[in-house]
Amino acid sequence: MRVLMVASEAAPFAKTGGLADVAGALPSALARLGCDVTLVVPAYREVFAKGLPVEPTGLSFEVPMGARRLEARIFGGRLPGDAARVYFVANDGCFDRPTLYGGPRDYADNAERFIFFARAALEFAGREERPFDILHCHDWQAGLVPAYQKLVYRGWPMLAGARTVMTIHNMAYQGWFWHWDMLLTGFDWRYFNWRQMECHGQLNFLKTGLVFADAITTVSPTYAREIQQSPGGCGLDGVLAVRSDAITGIVNGIDTAAWDPATDPYLPRGYGPDDVVAGKRAARRSLAERLGREIAEDVPLVALVGRLVEQKGIDLVIEMLGRMAGGGRARFVILGTGSVDTEEALGRLAAEHPGVINVVIGFDEGLAHLLFAAADVVLVPSRYEPCGLTQLYALRYGAIPIVRATGGLVDTVVDATPESLGDGRASGFVFDAFDARALERALERALDAHGDRDLWDGLVRGAMARDWSWDTSAREYVRLFERVRAAPPVDVH
């Protein structure tokens, strides 16, 4: 099966978030299952700055952009392990910029940039020697690909028989643009209507992908249900509800080679389920040295790693810390970045409770790995979470996650009830309401469980035994691709 994967970023070449992790790992996992995968991403300045092997292919062509034509030059490379080919679409005017999408405000011409990218990806694919079976498109930046394949490139031999799959990583990001940007797309204006490309008078890239794709996936089964109703659908819940039969939720995997406590170079010593206590003790001593202060080994260590923003529930954490920090039941370490107000609030709490709360503003990959290894508990109290990777890293390192019952969090963490503890399914603590008291009660449950050594050891061993590798997720994608390929294409006329 030949798969063309179209994504706006992919690790290790260019990254702003979890999309890059997926696009950088899934192709190799699919290749291990026998798929012939080609990944296409923009040739950002960041791609060349990384110093990774990226070479010109000699292929170039022009892409129609309204009344103009822009040149696309193609560079080639390989994902780590040489399992899948990567091609980079270069145009200096579009992609030779300091950041991928802009910042602090988006680039004003992002519509033009990603119209160009979508068409260039298909123009490149149409020049390959063998046809593609699946066009796998990620997020709004690739949202026009399904429409182009059906409306513009349906006569191209390498693309005519393909089926399109649209993957949503986060419904909050949709690619809303001025309606006059339709002139750049080359699409007939008749498709700018409320059923297809138009949304509240604007051109919506993600909506276009959802309407024209043959199948839709998102990154967890629960999130697949949540986005079909308000507020989870972020205004497109009606579109998704109409296409409910085409939606599948597949949980993301993690890179189990990079995130392996047995071989992690960031840890003072490796460990597995059989020596997790010794491994965590060594990690905690190393963490204390990094932080420059003692961290008691006999008191549970609670960690939070990630963006310190409202979506991640940092407001709940701040309120909860204000009540629990003085109780002496746990120590807390927080690593991440957020707004000035959030960072200052955490700084005040740390100053009020020295030795109990440690806050590290910024992000340090090595420190993040060390925190997962040292922690007993990891907090993931998100308001919403399409999939989430933090809880998967925690489970891998034997740190028990506390999560809110939303999206991929509830799909990957089984609440520690008497029944789930009894049959070995328990892997963490889950709370429902998005409020600080609910988070506090969940943490109290975890701390009570930590006091029962046999119960806690069994919980940790069970958590570490679960398989969250990309191979598991890739098998679900292959089954989906096979179903989609065997079905007729969606009728868009």
Bridge partners of 248?
217
pLDDT at res. 450 = 96
Per-residue pLDDT at 493 exceeds 90: no
pLDDT in tens, 141-185: 999 999 999 999 999 999 999 999 999 999 999 999 999 999 999
pLDDT at res. 386 = 96
| Mean pLDDT of all residues in 420-437 | 96
| Mean pLDDT of all residues in 10-33 | 93
Confidence label for 104 from pLDDT (cuts 50, 70 and 90): confident
| Mean pLDDT of all residues in 375-403 | 97
Token code pair at residue 15: 């990254």
Of 84 and 272, the one with more pLDDT: 272
The answer to whether 100 and 8 are in contact (CB under 8 A) is: yes
The answer to whether 149 and 215 are in contact (CB under 8 A) is: no
Overall pTM > 0.85 = yes
Count the helix, strand and coil residues of the chain and give each as a percent rounded to the nearest 5: 40, 20, 35
CA atoms within 13 A on the CB side of 491: 1
| Nearest-5° Cα angle at 317, 313 to 320 | 135
| Mean pLDDT of all residues in 187-203 | 97
Confidence label for 77 from pLDDT (cuts 50, 70 and 90): very high
pLDDT at res. 268 = 97
Per-residue pLDDT at 294 exceeds 90: no
Per-residue pLDDT at 81 exceeds 80: no
Mean of per-residue pLDDT scores for the chain: 95
Q: Which domains does the chain have, with CATH numbers?
A: 2-253+472-486 (3.40.50.2000), 273-467 (3.40.50.2000)
Pinpoint the alpha helices (H) of 169-245.
Answer: 182-185, 205-212, 221-226, 237-242
Per-residue pLDDT at 389 exceeds 80: yes
Confidence label for 103 from pLDDT (cuts 50, 70 and 90): confident
CA atoms within 13 A on the CB side of 136: 29
Q: Minimal CA–CA distance to 123: which of 143, 149, 96, 142?
A: 149
| Mean pLDDT of all residues in 265-271 | 97
How far, in Å, CA of 40 to CA of 23, rounded? 10
The answer to whether 385 and 406 are in contact (CB under 8 A) is: yes
How far, in Å, CA of 302 to CA of 297, rounded? 12
| Alpha carbon 455 to its chain's center | 32
Per-residue pLDDT at 286 exceeds 80: yes
| Mean pLDDT of all residues in 449-472 | 95
- The one-letter code for the residue type at 232 is G
Token code pair at residue 493: 């006329």
| Mean pLDDT of all residues in 323-337 | 94
How far, in Å, CA of 394 to CA of 371, rounded? 9
Confidence label for 296 from pLDDT (cuts 50, 70 and 90): confident
| Nearest-5° Cα angle at 481, 170 to 114 | 45
